Amino acid sequence: MNKKIGFTCAYTPVPLIEAAGFSPFRIFPESKAPDQAGHLLHDNLCPHVKKVLDRALADDLPELEGMVFINSCDSMRRLADAWHEAKPDDPIILLDLPSGINSLSLDFLSKEYERLAKTLFKWNNEPFSTEKIKDEIAKWNLLAASVKKIEGIMSRNYFPGIASGLQEIINTAATDSTDKALVMAQNKIEPEKPAKGGQSPVFVFGNLLFDPKVYDLFEEWNMHVTASDFCTTSRFVTQVDTKADDNIFRSMAISYMEQTPCARTMDTTKPGNIAQKIVQRAKESNAKGVIVFTLKFCDPYLARIPMIRQALQKESIPFLMLEGDCTMGSMGQQQTRIEAFTEMLGV
């Protein structure tokens, strides 16, 4: 069993962790740990970050050899700060993630990814090896391709259980190993149950929705998830286009910046482009409606909701906004809204 490296953000390239001989361990905000984050962070802060910190404060984590933080948003920056207090002995690396996509930012991020790779190899006393990184990327890309195939099946027909099954695969890649996730994915490419009708096709997006049981609930509430865009679903399994650049780290930077459309990253030549991307994905997946699940206090998403709403309205695509902590605990509260939304959409 490899030693584990903790991380919290979808911009963390898992192949680098595995190439250095570690196992990835994404810290999901699921825990019965008591609410203690308020001792270190403001109460009006993203519940994802606070719950992850609760886990650290309550020692509700496996043994970690180090933590990788990305300063993707203010809350993530503060989490890295608080980690120093909560776990002063943990080795930590904080990567600077540019907000805009352009040649300079890609150069900068590629250096940051290289710094991460070298740090991880050093933490494991392993000689730095670009070959190992390339091998891991190849494996990761196989997983990404399998995930894409499953997503394609999801968007065409409603197969009960497929969405939660996909989430289990992705969670395995995030918290265990790409190899195991790959085996699971190859078994899932053929749906276990036949296609069914009678559900409302909905595209869901937002920050994170990681519990497979949530997707089963959605089905109970008459929803057919045609596609999803969360940092715990498609945004996490980013295909690395190795042909994008001769430098492997720049290829990674290009792939993560361009394919991982978290609201915090923008195409500066097209301000507000996230709204068009949401419309496009909803249409491509044959959805009749769109639901956003946002974490409370998540400025990057909340600030973009008005333009996303406008863009969807323009296309006459019904839109539902749900705010919470994106765990099963808060999902019950949303039942009436989701059911009413599917009743409104029809089949």
Partner 1 sequence: MMYDHFDNAVKGITDKLNQDPEGINARKKYVLELSKLGKKLYSKDENIAWCGVTAPFDLLGSMDVTSCFVEFVGALLSSTQTAGYFFEEAEDSGFATDSCAYHRAVMGAVLKNAMPEPDFIIGTSSPCTAGLAILENFAHQYKKDFFLLNVPQNYTQDAIKYLSSQLEEMVRFVSDHTKRPLSKQKLGIALENFNTSSTLLKEIYDLTKTKPSPVDNNILKDFGTVITLLMGSQEGIDICQAFKDELNHRIKTRRHHDSKEKIRLMWIQNRIQYPFPINEMLEDLGAVIVVDELNDVTWEPMDPDNPFESIAKRMISIPFSMNASERIKHLQDLACAYRIDGAINPCH
Partner 2 sequence: MIFLGIDIGSLSCDAVLIDEEKNILASSVILTGAKNIESIARAKKNVLDAAGIMEKDIRSIISTGYGRARVKEKDAAVTEITCHAKGIKHVIPETRILIDIGGQDSKVMRLDPDGNVVDFAMNDKCAAGTGRFLEAMARALEVDITELGDLDKGATSDLVLSSMCTVFAESEVISLIACGTEQKEIAKGLNRSIAARTNSLVKRVAKNIDGLTVSMSGGVARNKGVVKAISESMNLEKINTPETPDIIGALGAAIIAFEKIHG
Q: How far is the CB of 312 from partner 1 (least distance, A)?
A: 11
Q: Given the complex with partner 1, which of 42 and 196 has the nearer CB atom?
A: 42
Beta-bridged to residue 64, according to DSSP, are 4
**Three-state DSSP class for 51?**
helix
**Three-state DSSP class for 99?**
coil
Question: Of partner 2, partner 1, none, which one does residue 343 interact with (CB within 5 to 8 Å by kind)?
Answer: partner 2
Q: Given the complex with partner 1, which of 162 and 320 has the nearer CB atom?
A: 320
Alpha carbon distance 306, 210 (integer Å): 25
Which positions from 279 through 338 interact with partner 2, judged by CB under 8 A?
Answer: 318, 333, 336-337
Q: Which ranges in 13-128 belong to alpha helices (H)? A: 14-19, 47-57, 74-86, 103-123
Q: How far is the CB of 340 from partner 2 (least distance, A)?
A: 4
Binding interface with partner 1 (CB under 8 A): 42, 44, 71, 73-74, 77-78, 80-82, 84, 94, 96, 98-100, 104-105, 107-108, 111, 263-264, 266, 268-269, 271-272, 275, 296-297, 299-300, 302-307, 309, 321, 323
Q: Could you say whether residue 343 binds partner 2 (CB under 8 A)?
A: yes
User: CB neighbours of 220 closer than 8 A, spacing ≥ 6?
Assistant: none
Question: Of partner 1, partner 2, none, which one does residue 80 interact with (CB within 5 to 8 Å by kind)?
Answer: partner 1
Q: Which ranges in the chain belong to alpha helices (H)? A: 14-19, 47-57, 74-86, 103-123, 130-156, 162-175, 178-188, 212-220, 248-259, 273-284, 299-302, 305-314, 328-331, 335-345
Neighbour tally for 345: CB within 10 Å: 19
Q: Given the complex with partner 1, which of 82 and 144 has the nearer CB atom?
A: 82
Q: Given the complex with partner 2, which of 154 and 311 has the nearer CB atom?
A: 311
Q: How far is the CB of 343 from partner 2 (least distance, A)?
A: 4
Q: Are strands 64-70 and 92-95 parallel, antiparallel or unpaired?
A: parallel
Q: How far is the CB of 341 from partner 2 (least distance, A)?
A: 8
Alpha carbon distance 128, 122 (integer Å): 8
- Which residues contact partner 2 by CB under 8 A? 318, 333, 336-337, 339-340, 343-344
